[in-house]
């Protein structure tokens, strides 16, 4: 399996997040994604896939309740920001823009969800640092 195939499978699971299903319903899909990620030969692709799964998993296990519209929007922004296509500079710009957008979403969501949504920025920050070290 290559990263593009993994990404298609990940996107299918991600697109199924509609806010009406309990988070626990996604456990089998997360397990399947982990198994697919383990088959990626390129270590950087495998790490990227594992990071995307970990982010998704942490969001799904945050409450065990259906995903709120604000959380779903933040997840979509995060997913787009972590796409592996583009130059390092383009990917950094995309991640930084997503961090700003996620901050806006978190602020609008209110105190009950703000912290959970803001945790998504941690992985984006780490992505920016990794891309800067690779290209610098």
Cα(102)–Cα(96) distance, integer angstroms: 10
Could you read off the pLDDT of 53-98 as tens digits, one per residue? Answer: 887 787 677 655 667 889 888 988 988 888 777 888 999 999 999 9
pLDDT at 82: 83
pLDDT at 19: 61
pLDDT at 65: 64
pLDDT at 36: 94
Is pLDDT of 107 > 60? yes
Could you read off the pLDDT of 3-26 as tens digits, one per residue? Answer: 889 988 988 888 787 666 767 778
What's the half-sphere exposure (Cβ side, CA atoms, 13 Å) at 19?
9
pTM of the prediction? 0.67
Of 7, 16, 3, 77, which is closest to residue 43 (Cα–Cα)? 3
What number of helices (H) and strands (E) belong to the chain?
A: 7, 0
Is pLDDT of 104 > 60? yes
pLDDT at 34: 94
pLDDT at 11: 83
């Amino acid at each position: 399996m290559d990263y593009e195939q993994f990404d298609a499978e990940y996107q299918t699971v991600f697109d199924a997040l509609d806010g009406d299903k309990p988070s626990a319903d996604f456990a089998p899909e997360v397990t399947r994604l982990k198994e697919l990620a383990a088959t990626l030969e390129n270590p950087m692709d495998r790490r990227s896939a594992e990071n995307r799964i970990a982010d998704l998993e942490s969001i799904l296990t945050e409450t065990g309740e259906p995903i709120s519209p604000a959380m779903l929007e933040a997840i979509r922004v995060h997913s787009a920001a972590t796409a592996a296509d583009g130059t390092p500079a383009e990917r950094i710009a995309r991640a930084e823009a997503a961090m700003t957008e996620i901050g806006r979403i978190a602020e609008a969501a209110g105190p009950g969800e703000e912290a959970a949504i803001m945790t998504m920025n941690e992985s984006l920050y780490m992505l920016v640092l990794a891309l800067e070290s690779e290209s610098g």
